[in-house]
Structure 1
């Protein structure tokens, strides 16, 4: 029988923060994948190598972790005062779907450099040496991200001495501002705290009633206290990811938290919405040895945070979850703020499995409601490979 040959599609493989993914210009995708469709999802899954019952993604570009099973589509923005539209697709590793429900804060750092390299930014705006400011429309959640991209000799500077725990080698710093980061989520009315409370009693069958801060900022996130679920906040990946009972517990918390936040109408829907919400647990400062062997001392951090992503404990911290952490830390009374000492603050440094990270947020009360105007953090990004990806012509 005849076999359909492979086709090739222009693509760029990039690291952004502690994630990496395959980036596409919208105009380079096959026509039937240029609009949201089953064909687009099928194409991206085939590029990444999903669904893979072996959970290895050997036959694709994915790296078999939530941090490396990612795709990005960038287009010239049709919105005023924005340079590009950025759409993020989290590809499930072992199931046949792409989750479009949230942003990737880490890959957000790579969108500006990709936009410049792809010709989306007017050359007249790029200095010989300095910084170019790029306004990004994050299409998944309808928010603006401002990226400050360093330029040297008229080109994006990718090398440098900025160190980011969770990334092996130093690189150039890309500063990001997430404007008005409270997520616009269906069922939550765009509220930062969809239940109307800073701390809720979340009833989770089989586990009990947990104190929880449920927040829509950066990405919908459910924060619980580490000690309430039997942890210290110093755990590394193997302590959680090798424990099937623990993973099931976190997924149950996530499902019932999503229901309480109004993100789903039935707990069964959570299985088809793996990317959001996130579940994280917090603890007061304590010393531990990070996954790299680096010693983190209690005095180095304001609190400890561990977060789940796509059913596993993340090796560092998702950028969007860092926005949620910074936002919640800035608001007195949340579990995050309490773990950090309970004082008013505009920035927080937290410990995660790979080390530490600092994130800032500007919070204020307006008519009795908390509003965060922006969250700020630094990442790095660089191109790993550019050219074409190939997929069988009948794969989508």
Structure 2
């Protein structure tokens, strides 16, 4: 498919030049498409096509001076384009190790990633198979396996308690056909992957039992101490990364990676975490895009459980008191549980510690305004109304009510969500 190859290679170039979550790049993609966007960000195009539409898109996203923002973006992109690697060569090199690049235009692209909005990845490198045996079909199978999945995340400083609970949850996932997603790190992440694979080997089965989402390039095993684990994952699961091959796993990329774990998964469970940790970053991303989150309670004197307790106290996260509680987070739209054989919790109120969701009980109009209001950059009523499909007066009435409830705040005539 020559056309799809062109799309893939265009998006590979975009991913090299533009950082994840680059709003200006995503708006250009929406306006001009992958091939033209690649020409613009790499400097091959002399100007931005559809400039008026692009400027309007930037203005709608909250840029007060969209022309200035466009100019700054071009300078940023062109500076990075000097280090551009040929996309076709990258594809060939990665295919030799069983890695293939999938894009939003692929039929296998997970619909859940659309929940990230302007933070959706430009594409994903998916690596499968031992000794470079993974095919493009295997890569598509790996993404499909994320449809029924649970993210199990936590601290690198895991206690024996945390490791044991992680093992039990991951083993139960494998027993019920749920793919375990995590970040490949030392501690909770590593145990989650390993336990899913142990159950796989013990049962004599093969399949996508676990997926590791990496912060660095798909060709770099990090941490190095998990080299053997990553090889095992390739034999019974997959590695996924949005980073350009060869890319170093910087702190920024770890934080960006967390949003992918949250978006790919059906729900997120935090086993152990400090109050300030990457695992809580993953949980917060999940809550923002509407994923259910669970937290394992621990020793109240342990800093490694303080993050879990904070989730239970301040969000609608569920108490994970047994492995099946984690699986109960995975529900169909009709409320039935996805894993077979999972019944309701014997606890009458498994979320008793947690607060109700902000959106519980909202009318359709309220929900539309709530979802149309950004969580970071304030925007005016007109934009919120347009995104919500309402009149400005209707949107303003809902926003005023939300302001009294503390759901939003007004900043210089514009509105932003607080919860």
- Tell whether the structures are fold-level matches, with TM greater than 0.5: no
Tell me: higher relative CO, structure 1 or 2? Use CA pairs within 8 A at least 6 residues apart. Answer: 1
Relative to its length, the structure with more strand (as a share) is: 1
